[in-house]
Amino acid sequence: MTETGSNGYDVIIVGAGPAGLCAAMYAGRGMLRALTIERGAPGGELLNTDVIEDYIGFPSIKGWELAEKMAEHAAHFGATFATDTVEHIRKAADGWFDVTTAHGHLYRAPAVRASASTPAKACPIAPCVTARSSRAKCSPWWGAATRPSKRRIT
């Protein structure tokens, strides 16, 4: 296994569809170093869509073209991309997350954002959910963002 951890990433984003690319862009805008891992080309289901006519700001755009623009926008703010398949995510004893890929890489970060369109049964993130962190089941963010807020929303 190739250890690529301790690499300075603040967040690892699993999946580079529209949600993952948006997360990568905003992570970069927030001065976070983000690694986005996608098993194929960035864009997700946009790559399977010929023409999109209901995306704000674009009266009509090809799916691949919108995906390309989103990936370029995320990269503009510093997002890094890796083409690989995430096989397992687990929370290590030090509180960081270990993300293992099919190509044998191990990435580490204090937070993980899951935005891959994977059936729940096959989701690689489920093993990292512990009784101590049951709130992670409902949230696509793991790490600092999974700590319950003391603010009450009414």
Within a domain: 147: no
CATH of the domain at 60: 3.50.50.60
Please indicate, yes or no, if residue 81 is contained in any of the structural domains: yes
Instruction: Report the number of distinct structural domains present in the chain.
Output: 1
Condensed to tens digits (0 to 9), the pLDDT of residues 124-153 reads: 554 444 333 433 333 344 454 444 444 333
85, part of any domain? yes
Q: What is the mean pLDDT of residues 114-123?
A: 61
Of the pLDDT bands very low, low, confident and very high (cuts 50, 70, 90), residue 13 is: very high
- Measured CA to CA, the distance from residue 49 to residue 39 in angstroms comes to 18
Question: Residue 16 above 80 pLDDT?
Answer: yes
Domain with 63, as residue range(s), is 2-118
List the beta strands (DSSP E) in 28-109: 34-38, 51-52, 61-62, 80-83, 86-91, 97-101, 105-109
* Token output for 18: 């529209």
Q: Is 51 helix (H, G, I), strand (E, B) or coil?
A: strand
